[in-house]
Amino acid sequence: MRKISLFDTTLRDGEKSLGITLNAKEKLEIGRQLVKLGVDVIEAGFPAASPSELEAVRTLAREVKGAVICAFAGVEEREIDCCADALKGAGQPRIHTGIAISPVYMEKKLRLSPDQVVEMAVAAVRHARKYVGDVQFYAEDAFRSDRTFLVRVLEKVIEAGATVVNIPDTLGYATPWEYSEMISYIMNNVRNIQRAVLSVHCHNDLGMATANSLAGIKAGAGQVEGTINGIGERAGNTSLEEIIMALYTRRGSTGIECWAKTREIAATSRLVSRLSGVPVPTHKAIVGANAFTGIPASFPEHAPLNEALPFEMIDPDMVGMLGDGGFLNAWSGPYMLKQRLQELGYSLEQAELDLVYQKFLQLSGCKGDVFDEDLHGLMGDAGVAGNGITVKNISITTTGVSRATATVTLDLDGDTVTEAACGMGPVDAVFKALDLLVGERVYLEDYMLKTVGRGREALGDATVKVRYGDKGLVIGRGISTDVIEASARAYANALTKVKTIIRENTGQASN
Ligand SMILES: [Zn+2]
């Protein structure tokens, strides 16, 4: 069997393109789960982008062991220096540097001649090699580049010390046969290609990212790049879980494998969805809620029941999509809660468990049986992450149609504060009161409310997307049996994140 390396870029290409800023704690949680999933490389971020991004990559490099930790840069020395700084604590550091090489990008975006591009690419790889032994080079927009020039660039950067060369289809423009042909061309024409690993990086604009990546792997690539749930710019990146299951399911005919732990897929998918605020479509391959429901219409009516269904090529248990996990209730002790949470992919420190257990008791008091979905909701709740802003009390008065006054009491960094505000409906009034209390200038970009869990008293699960300054977006999440409270918690969670980012980026001491 030929083993393929899995390169996860959820935290870089996935995150950046959504405009979302994940903080160090969130990145760390995803990083740890990716190690459980068994990916070989974790691209942690772009350290030169901002001080908080630098800090997040630094934390991940220091804390996450068991995978190569990669940091992203352009060809500028300053950006590469930032990567080296961020990766100091990493056991297996890798710097990912690169430049665009297609005629249109070189001319319009970079305003550089091909010779200048080669020179800069080589200098960047050499510079990165001063810090680390493992340097990956990306040839941006490689698919639309001139083949002779592509070969020239790759030979030069491998000569300069690149250990991995990444051949992106930046615009998601390729078809599987063309991409396969290009990878074969590189394998056959780059003289020193055996000294580096060839990596495929595809985008899903034509819905072919997974197909193109597999075609590239078949043609000789040794590494595949992707994101969990396929999140990313425009139509997204290659879905890593699709690659993992395609390689696993068809390993018999391809002779190609990866070493992922497939049973961690569902937990990883849920975590990324929860922290990125991007829901997984119900029909999404491998991780969608409906991915394993129903039997094809062609199922033979009289097939013996004791035979495994011929159409169920993937057992839902194989990807960790647990069936009915039963339920817990007020009589379930903290040990049972801890065990169930572990089975669902959450590992908690004792202090966190205590906090979650209190919330669990409150919840089972309100709604009786607590199902797996409720537990996922509970874990997504803002308070678990250690919030600087806690909603203590809310009271609402409505007058006429859709006018409301909200009085909100918060625990704000240890002080109890109260404020009232009017708005169009109770949620708007609550958000305005929170704005007054917290005093950050933010803009509410999106607000979603859905129910999670089963039973008559399903939980309200609120997600807000909040823009601050021109720097970016944060996601806030809140869960409660009361939808107004869930909304308030979500907004408070987002405001906490904004406060932290602003504090970190203005260079003040953070805790
Ligand atoms: Zn990309």
C-alpha 356 to ligand 1 mean position (Å): 37
Residues 229 and 349 in one domain: no
- Domain boundary (260, 276, 292) is at 276
C-alpha 460 to ligand 1 mean position (Å): 35
C-alpha 279 to ligand 1 mean position (Å): 20
Q: Where are the alpha helices (DSSP H) in 91-208?
A: 103-104, 114-131, 147-160, 176-189
Do residues 221 and 200 make contact, with C-beta atoms less than 8 angstroms apart? Answer: yes
C-alpha 305 to ligand 1 mean position (Å): 46
299 domain-assigned: no
Q: Which residues neighbour 40 within 8 Å (Cβ) at sequence distance 6 or greater?
A: 5, 6, 7, 67, 68, 223, 259
C-alpha 141 to ligand 1 mean position (Å): 9
286 domain-assigned: no
C-alpha 225 to ligand 1 mean position (Å): 9
C-alpha 187 to ligand 1 mean position (Å): 22
375 domain-assigned: yes
C-alpha 40 to ligand 1 mean position (Å): 18
Residues 365 and 390 in one domain: no
C-alpha 223 to ligand 1 mean position (Å): 14
C-alpha 144 to ligand 1 mean position (Å): 14
C-alpha 320 to ligand 1 mean position (Å): 28
Residue 12: give the domain boundaries.
2-276
C-alpha 163 to ligand 1 mean position (Å): 19
Residues 108 and 201 in one domain: yes
CATH code, domain with 431? 3.30.160.270
Q: Which residues neighbour 297 within 8 Å (Cβ) at sequence distance 6 or greater?
A: none
pLDDT in tens, the chain (511 residues): 999 999 999 999 998 767 777 888 889 989 999 999 999 999 999 999 989 899 999 999 999 999 999 999 999 999 999 999 999 999 999 999 999 999 999 999 999 999 999 999 999 999 999 999 999 999 999 999 999 999 999 999 999 999 999 999 999 999 999 999 999 999 999 999 999 999 999 999 999 999 999 999 999 999 999 999 999 999 999 999 999 999 999 999 999 999 999 999 988 998 898 888 888 888 899 998 778 765 454 445 555 555 544 455 677 788 887 544 567 877 888 888 888 888 776 778 888 888 889 888 888 887 777 877 778 777 766 444 445 788 889 999 988 877 999 999 998 888 899 999 999 999 999 999 999 998 888 999 999 998 776 666 677 888 899 998 876 888 888 888 888 999 999 999 899 888 888 877 775 443 3
296 domain-assigned: no
240 domain-assigned: yes
C-alpha 237 to ligand 1 mean position (Å): 7
C-alpha 227 to ligand 1 mean position (Å): 10
C-alpha 232 to ligand 1 mean position (Å): 8
- Domain boundary (241, 276, 311) is at 276
CATH code, domain with 21? 3.20.20.70
Residues 438 and 497 in one domain: yes
The pair of structure tokens assigned to 166 is 């990444």
Do residues 268 and 31 make contact, with C-beta atoms less than 8 angstroms apart? Answer: no
Do residues 385 and 355 make contact, with C-beta atoms less than 8 angstroms apart? Answer: no
C-alpha 24 to ligand 1 mean position (Å): 22
Phi, psi of 347 (to 5 degrees): -110, 125
C-alpha 159 to ligand 1 mean position (Å): 25
Residues 366 and 258 in one domain: no
C-alpha 432 to ligand 1 mean position (Å): 38
Q: Give the single-character DSSP code of 4.
A: P
Phi, psi of 473 (to 5 degrees): -120, 150
pTM over 0.75: yes
Residues 211 and 184 in one domain: yes
Per-residue model confidence (pLDDT) at position 453: 64
Distance, CA of 165 to CA of 289 (rounded, Å): 36
Residues 133 and 218 in one domain: yes
302 domain-assigned: no
Burial of residue 262, with CB atoms counted within 10 A of its CB: 0-12 exposed, 13-18 middle, 19 or more buried: buried
Q: 3-class secondary structure for 429-487?
A: HHHHHHHHHHCCCEEEEEEEEEEECCCCCCEEEEEEEEEECCCEEEEEEEEECCHHHHH
C-alpha 385 to ligand 1 mean position (Å): 30
Q: Which residues neighbour 73 within 8 Å (Cβ) at sequence distance 6 or greater?
A: 46, 47, 48, 79, 80, 82, 83, 95, 96, 97, 124, 128
Residues 352 and 260 in one domain: no
- Domain boundary (276, 295, 312) is at 276
Cα of first residue to Cα of last residue in the chain, in angstroms, is 49
Residues 363 and 407 in one domain: no
Report the number of distinct structural domains present in the chain: 3
Q: Give the single-character DSSP code of 137.
A: E
193 domain-assigned: yes
165 domain-assigned: yes
Per-residue model confidence (pLDDT) at position 367: 73
C-alpha 13 to ligand 1 mean position (Å): 6
Distance, CA of 328 to CA of 320 (rounded, Å): 20
C-alpha 168 to ligand 1 mean position (Å): 7
Tokens 């001491």 sit on residue: 509
Residues 146 and 86 in one domain: yes
E strand or H helix at 416: strand 415-424
Residues 400 and 334 in one domain: no
Residue 310's identity, in one-letter code, is P
Residues 33 and 170 in one domain: yes
C-alpha 276 to ligand 1 mean position (Å): 17
Do residues 224 and 5 make contact, with C-beta atoms less than 8 angstroms apart? Answer: yes
